[in-house]
């Protein structure tokens, strides 16, 4: 880690090493950053930023299409919560209006049908190039995320491969997000303050705008560093660590230029019981089912799922309110 940055910087290159001491060095740095902040910059020889650039160019081309064309693959038509998300579809706690559009790619599960609402075939555009470029980036980052899960296992003092069997069919979602530039609303929130629902997020942004709530209750701007990703802790890792790491609230504000953002939300398999991994400590959290929590939070955010809940078509089980994790400071604008 290097203290000259707004956030800690962790190099995960040594997770490649056959030497356990090297991997423990990464785990220690990750542990410290997640305890202190919950947000960090991530770099490593594992990352292929050519894949990232191809994804950025693809997103620019896709979002330039007309709305009618994009709505042909509206997320509400999908089997696994994937597809196009129009501006205003999402609302977070406080009903903040969401000034972005997105294309969501969930885990493209092609196995036997399940009763898990997030597992199923991804709703893809009729565009082989789109699917190829997005799948390339998704698979690349998903592989790196498996190494990060191993680093977390070491940091939490459990077997290094503790998470391996828990992430084989995880509904980890990649989002292609476009924040249009609107001069008249450049000081409005692009995305409401929230924590992420999964274990951790790997974010590739193309422009500033991200703000993080620090432990003093202040919103701080996060600048970009070339050839790095931004990583943050989500609800499930807060539980798995028994509060050692806190999910960190964040938002996008003051979009001064057109902005694209590509988060991969890294989760465990749908039926994984999310509870503290060290059982000799008193748990600060009630155990929950990972996929159930993820779907419940999603259903409280997306308009098409809210309509199904309101009509009685969809009944949520064991749902907790949005923003139930992380710091509890007031979230008024800075």
Rounded CA separation 160/248 (Å): 25
Report field, pTM of the whole predicted structure over 0.75: yes
Q: What's the confidence (pLDDT) of residue 98?
A: 60
Q: Are strands 200-205 and 229-233 parallel, antiparallel or unpaired?
A: antiparallel
Decide: helix, strand or coil at residue 9.
strand
* Separation between Cα atoms, residue 86 and residue 242, nearest integer Å: 36
CA 195 centroid distance within chain: 9
pLDDT at 302 over 80: yes
- State residue 149's pLDDT score: 98
What are the tens digits of pLDDT across the range 99-149? 789 999 999 988 888 888 899 999 999 999 999 999 999 999 999 999 999
**Contact (CB, 8 A) for 106 and 97:** no
Q: What is the mean pLDDT of residues 28-46?
A: 95
Average pLDDT, the chain: 88
Could you give the CA distance from residue 280 to residue 77 in angstroms, rounded to a whole number? 45
| Interval 1-36: pLDDT, tens | 344 568 999 999 999 999 999 999 999 999 999 998
Least confident of 115-129, 183-197, 275-289: 183-197
pLDDT digits (tens, 9 = 90+) for 256-275: 678 999 999 999 999 999 99
What is the set of domains in the chain, with CATH numbers? 46-311 (2.60.120.330)
- The pLDDT of 88-92, averaged and rounded, is 81
């Amino acid at each position: 880690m290097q203290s000259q940055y707004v956030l800690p910087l962790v190099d995960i290159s040594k997770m490649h090493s056959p030497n356990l001491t090297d991997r423990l060095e990464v785990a220690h740095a990750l542990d410290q950053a997640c305890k202190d902040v919950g947000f960090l910059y991530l770099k490593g020889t594992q990352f292929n930023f050519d894949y990232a650039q191809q994804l950025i160019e693809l997103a620019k081309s896709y979002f330039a299409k007309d709305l009618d064309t994009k709505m042909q693959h509206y997320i509400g038509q999908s089997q696994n919560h994937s597809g196009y998300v129009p501006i205003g579809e999402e609302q977070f706690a406080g009903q903040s209006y969401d000034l972005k559009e997105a294309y969501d790619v969930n885990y493209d599960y092609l196995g036997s049908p399940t009763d898990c609402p997030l597992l199923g075939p991804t709703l893809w555009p009729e565009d082989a190039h789109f699917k190829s470029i997005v799948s390339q980036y998704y698979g690349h980052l998903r592989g790196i995320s498996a190494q990060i899960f191993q680093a977390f296992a070491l940091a939490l003092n459990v077997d290094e491969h503790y998470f391996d069997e828990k992430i084989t069919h995880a509904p980890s979602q990649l989002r292609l997000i476009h924040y249009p530039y609107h001069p008249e609303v450049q000081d409005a929130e692009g995305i409401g303050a929230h924590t992420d629902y999964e274990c951790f997020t790997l974010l590739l942004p193309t422009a500033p705008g991200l703000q993080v709530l620090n432990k003093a209750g202040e919103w701080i701007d996060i600048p970009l560093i070339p050839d790095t990703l931004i990583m943050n802790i989500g609800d499930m890792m807060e539980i798995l660590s028994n509060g050692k790491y806190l999910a960190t609230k964040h938002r996008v504000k003051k979009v001064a230029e057109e902005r694209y953002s590509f988060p991969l939300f890294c989760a465990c398999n749908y039926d994984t019981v999310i509870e503290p991994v060290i059982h000799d400590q008193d748990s600060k959290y009630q155990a929950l089912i990972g996929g159930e929590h993820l779907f419940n939070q999603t259903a409280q955010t997306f308009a098409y799922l809210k309509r199904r809940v309101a009509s009685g078509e969809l009944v949520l089980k064991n749902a907790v309110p949005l923003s139930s994790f992380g710091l509890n400071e007031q979230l008024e604008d800075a």
